[in-house]
């Protein structure tokens, strides 16, 4: 690596500094309490997957370049030079970490591994060594935001076909658009994923609840966050924020996508609208009696996988239980304490990388499979696209023989007509 | 037909949800030479916006879009 | 030899405390000048009141208790003894009525505080020779533990000699006059501190303690100070 590249990368490193980051960089005692926290370590037993080992890689660079010790006595903290070999190690550490923050629960100081890994991800981008497909997907999202007019027609054509589906299944009253788009003054802007399964059931529930809603032009998922590029994350987010402001909605409701929800909730800043997840919206409709559910629709025990970015990292926990209470009398918890739920093993962009990471994803998530099996449930519900894909893959690979379901789809299917 | 398109490779992406169609196509396009055309079949309605946006960013060109029932067919020329 | 003793017991102590205090302030100032993180870093569900849980996490290490119970016993013993040790040292300066609510001899703990600390330190050290903690540790971690062990062992020896074997050549009064003279910047070494049979213990104790203090602000020991704000971020 030449001098110039290294300087540029160190500049990127520095750009990640803030108070919390400095805390985390200064104070790991390497006590090993976090050892068993990571599902990858728990499933594979390889030291390099221990949370502290992962972020010590970052800390070694920090000690070398950002502390006087790195010049005076580098071996004291095993400070490391930034080289091509280091970059490879960073890749291994960052793209085997799903950013679930389970290790943060274990650490006596609460060191945030996901946040430290974001330095690794940014360095990888700087070196052009990140998974290029994630950058491509992020750029595609940004492009959509920039030239919306070009793509509007295709979008509307797609929606028309879905509307027919909604009407067929749920007999929405005639005269009303089953999937309203671009409605100024609507109460709620629903940000979906670009897939029928994310739009159709949601539309059915919004319509049943009499919500004044409108569908966003944009998909919720934020590939900028997966690849760890702060400026792209922001651009992708801003598309939706601007749309919400333009339509003057009171609420932005994010579909079942963990990263999208967390980014939207915490990075959108203070805005005239509130941010909710679709799980929260559904729980609210139930509480207010705006929808009713048929408990006989799903026989058999149901368990629920808390998506890390929605539950442990953004606090939507009880709402899901409340909904499931209306779907079954036989709910099985995976853990007694939601903070300890195992990650599905698909976050941090791993699922989006598809077949490339499949083998790793299966090996690293054995503990999740054991956890699901221990519940004895036949339906495994969850509220995140990533988790759903990963859990479905696990279901096939480990022959778990459960039915993997989106919670929102279950709500839609169990709707009792008014 | 005067504007018949010679397709070099066909990708069946039916049933895949976003972002897989885009992922597969962006890998797939590398399997043909510049100037050649691939055909992608998808059922994902999001593809109607995703593909054009992807083509714009990646610098490739969508020559034609066909709808056949539930299936959407894209003809994409490799430009870069 | 007496010159070396003098350097260790007087100028080096000043230097060590100077580095310790200025070092910590400078490091903290540097960290606090950074902007706060743009997003909350909470772990959910958040229990109320957040500040109370922050304090619990900081001083009782509940997560260690849950996941590494043996380590937790040693950690609690260690950190409690560290606190007692601090009180013990303050009482070498003067009498504090506050600390004497439970009447005790000076030095606090009758030699057992040091013994427990030494055992804890050996435990911390040896667990770092076993995987996976071994694979996580860096030389700094071992050096710190060894250094602290040396501080503790020589400090304790003086205490053990007095408390358990009625050694009477170096007394609490001697320590007090030495330490007070340092405090008022009129350093004076009582004859016994440098010419008695156990003087070497005092010299080594102070020497290693000086090194420890000077290393503190630049090492992972900053966790002692940063633990509170870090746990606050997690607990809210
Ligand atoms: C005056 C304050 C403190 C001092 C001087 C101190 C000192 C030490 C020392 C010397 C160690 C052994 C280091 C090692 O094993 O390498 C240690 C370990 C540790 N301390 Fe503290 N500490 C202080 C406060 C705290 C606080 C407030 C916490 C709160 C969470 C804490 C948590 C820990 C933990 C988790 C370890 C790990 C032990 C290990 O395995 O090494 N300490 N501390
Ligand atoms: S539990 Fe925290 S302090 Fe201990 S090794 Fe892990 S990250 Fe470091
Ligand atoms: S954030 Fe999750 S995946 Fe990453 S190290 Fe921690 S426990 Fe492992």
How near does any CA of chain B get to the CA of A22, in Å?
A: 35
- Select which of B8, B16, B18, B58 is catalytic: B18
Of A369-373, B42-46, C92-96, which range is least confident? B42-46
Domains and CATH numbers, chain B: 7-77 (3.30.110.40)
Q: CA A125 to CA A320: how far, in whole Å?
A: 36
More confident site: C230 or B72: C230
How far the first Cα of chain B sits from its last, in Å, is: 27
Distance A52 CA to ligand 2 centre (A): 6
Mean pLDDT of C30-46: 94
pLDDT digits (tens, 9 = 90+) for A153-173: 888 888 888 888 888 888 766
Q: Tell me, what's the ipTM?
A: 0.93
Mean pLDDT of A302-315: 97
pLDDT at A172: 62
Separation in Å, CA A295 to CA A323, A330, C127: 11, 10, 54
Distance B23 CA to ligand 2 centre (A): 37
Q: CA B11 to CA B19: how far, in whole Å?
A: 15
pLDDT at A64: 95
Mean pLDDT of C116-129: 97
pLDDT at A386: 93
Rounded to two decimals, the pTM is 0.92
pLDDT digits (tens, 9 = 90+) for A201-241: 999 999 999 999 999 999 899 999 999 999 999 999 999 99
User: Relative to the CA of A109, which ligand 1 atom is closest?
Assistant: 30
Q: Which chain B residues are within 8 Å of A196, Cβ to Cβ?
A: 44-45
C-beta of A34 in contact with ligand 2 (< 6 A): yes
Distance A110 CA to ligand 1 centre (A): 14
Mean pLDDT of C175-183: 92
Q: Which chain B residues are within 8 Å of A154, Cβ to Cβ?
A: 48-49, 52, 65
A274, A279, A282, A284: CA torsion to nearest 10: -50
Mean pLDDT of B12-19: 79
- CB atoms under 10 Å from CB of A123, counted, come to 26
Inter-chain residue contact A140 with B50, CB threshold 8 Å: yes
pLDDT at A103: 98
The mean of the pLDDT values for chain A is 93
Q: At what angle do helices C139-165 and C199-215 cross, to 10 degrees?
A: 150
pLDDT at C105: 82
Domains and CATH numbers, chain A: 3-129 (1.10.1060), 134-287 (3.40.50), 302-413 (no CATH)
In which domain, by residue range, is C81 found?
2-235
pLDDT digits (tens, 9 = 90+) for A56-92: 999 999 999 999 888 889 889 899 999 999 999 999 9
Distance C82 CA to ligand 1 centre (A): 10
Residue A176 has pLDDT above 70, yes or no: no
Residue of C219, C223, C225, C235 with the most ligand 1 atoms within 8 Å of its CB, for mutation: C223
Separation in Å, CA A326 to CA A276, A296, A410: 20, 10, 11
Of A15-29, B65-79, C59-73, which range is least confident? B65-79
C188: domain CATH number is 1.20.950.20
Q: How confident is the model at residue A175 (pLDDT cuts 50, 70, 90)?
A: low
C-beta of A32 in contact with ligand 2 (< 6 A): yes
Q: Which chain C residues are within 8 Å of A32, Cβ to Cβ?
A: 68, 127, 132-133, 136
The dihedral sign for the CA sequence C230, C231, C232, C236: positive
Which residue has its alpha carbon closest to ligand 2 atom 5? A30
Inter-chain residue contact C44 with A17, CB threshold 8 Å: no
Residue A390 has pLDDT above 70, yes or no: yes
Count structural domains, chain C.
1
Residue A418 has pLDDT above 80, yes or no: no
Residue B1 has pLDDT above 70, yes or no: no
Q: Which chain A residues are within 8 Å of C135, Cβ to Cβ?
A: 47, 50, 53
pLDDT digits (tens, 9 = 90+) for A124-134: 999 999 998 89
Residue A141 has pLDDT above 60, yes or no: yes
Q: How confident is the model at residue C73 (pLDDT cuts 50, 70, 90)?
A: very high
């Amino acid at each position: 690596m030449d001098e110039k590249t290294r300087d540029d990368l160190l500049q990127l490193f520095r750009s990640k500094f803030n108070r919390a980051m400095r805390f985390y960089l200064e104070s790991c005692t390497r006590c090993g309490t976090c050892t068993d926290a990571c599902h990858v370590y728990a499933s594979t037993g390889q030291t390099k997957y221990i949370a502290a080992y992962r972020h010590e890689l970052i800390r070694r660079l920090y000690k070398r370049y950002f502390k006087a010790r790195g010049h005076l006595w580098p071996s004291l903290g095993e400070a490391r030079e930034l080289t091509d070999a280091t970059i490879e190690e960073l890749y291994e550490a960052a793209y085997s970490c799903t950013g679930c923050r389970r290790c943060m629960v274990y650490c006596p100081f609460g060191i945030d591994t996901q946040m430290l890994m974001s330095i690794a991800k940014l360095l990888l981008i700087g070196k052009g060594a990140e998974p290029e497909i994630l950058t491509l997907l992020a750029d595609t999202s940004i492009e959509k935001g920039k030239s919306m007019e070009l793509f509007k027609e295709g979008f509307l054509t797609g929606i028309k076909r879905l509307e027919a589906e909604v009407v067929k299944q749920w007999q929405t009253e005639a005269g009303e658009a089953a999937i309203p788009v671009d409605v100024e003054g609507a109460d709620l802007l629903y940000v979906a994923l670009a897939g029928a399964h994310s739009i159709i059931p949601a539309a059915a529930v919004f319509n049943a609840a009499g919500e004044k809603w409108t569908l966003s032009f944009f998909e919720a998922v934020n590939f900028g966050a997966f690849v760890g590029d702060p400026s792209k994350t922001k651009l992708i987010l801003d598309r939706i924020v601007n749309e919400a402001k333009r339509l003057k909605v009171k609420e932005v409701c994010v579909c079942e996508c963990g990263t999208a929800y967390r980014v939207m909730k915490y990075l959108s800043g203070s805005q005239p609208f509130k941010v909710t997840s679709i799980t929260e919206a559904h729980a609210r409709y139930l509480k207010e009696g705006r929808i009713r559910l048929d408990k006989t629709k799903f026989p058999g025990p149901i368990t629920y996988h808390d998506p890390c970015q929605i539950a442990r990292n953004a606090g939507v926990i009880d709402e899901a239980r409340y909904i499931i209470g209306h779907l079954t009398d036989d709910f099985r918890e995976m853990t007694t304490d939601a903070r300890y739920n195992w990650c599905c093993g698909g976050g941090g962009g791993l699922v989006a990388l598809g077949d490339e990471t499949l083998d790793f994803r299966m090996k690293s998530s054995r503990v999740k499979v054991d956890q699901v099996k221990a519940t004895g449930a036949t339906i495994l519900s969850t509220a995140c696209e990533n988790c759903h894909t990963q859990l479905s893959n696990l279901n096939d690979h480990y022959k778990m023989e459960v039915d993997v379901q989106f919670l929102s789809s279950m709500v839609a299917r169990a709707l009792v007509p008014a | 037909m005067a504007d018949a398109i010679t397709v070099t490779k066909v990708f069946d992406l039916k049933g895949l949800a976003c972002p897989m169609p885009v992922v597969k196509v962006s890998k797939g396009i590398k399997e043909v030479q510049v100037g050649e055309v691939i055909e992608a079949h998808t059922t994902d309605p999001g593809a109607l916006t995703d593909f054009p946006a992807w083509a714009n960013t990646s610098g490739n060109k969508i020559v034609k879009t066909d709808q056949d029932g539930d299936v959407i067919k894209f003809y994409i020329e490799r430009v870069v | 030899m007496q010159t070396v003793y003098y350097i260790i017991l007087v100028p080096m102590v000043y230097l060590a405390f100077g580095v310790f205090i200025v070092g910590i302030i400078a490091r903290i100032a540097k960290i606090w000048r950074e902007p706060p993180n743009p997003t909350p870093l909470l772990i959910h569900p958040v229990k109320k009141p957040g500040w109370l849980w922050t304090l619990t996490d900081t001083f009782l290490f509940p997560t260690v208790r849950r996941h590494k119970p043996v380590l937790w016993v040693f950690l609690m013993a260690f950190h409690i003894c560290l606190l007692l040790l601090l009180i013990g040292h303050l009482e070498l300066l003067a009498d504090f009525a506050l600390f004497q609510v439970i009447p005790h001899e000076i030095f606090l703990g009758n030699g057992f505080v040091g013994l427990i600390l030494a055992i804890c330190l050996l435990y911390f050290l040896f667990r770092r020779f076993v995987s996976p903690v071994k694979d996580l540790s860096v030389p700094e971690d071992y050096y710190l533990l060894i250094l602290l062990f040396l501080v503790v062992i020589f400090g304790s020896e003086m205490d053990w000699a007095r408390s358990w074997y009625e050694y009477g050549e170096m007394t609490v009064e001697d320590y007090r006059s030495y330490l007070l003279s340092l405090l008022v910047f009129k350093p004076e070494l009582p004859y016994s501190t440098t010419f008695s049979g156990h003087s070497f213990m005092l010299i080594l104790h102070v020497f290693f303690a000086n090194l420890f203090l000077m290393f503190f602000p630049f090492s992972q020991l900053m966790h002692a100070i940063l633990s509170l704000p870090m746990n606050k971020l997690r607990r809210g």
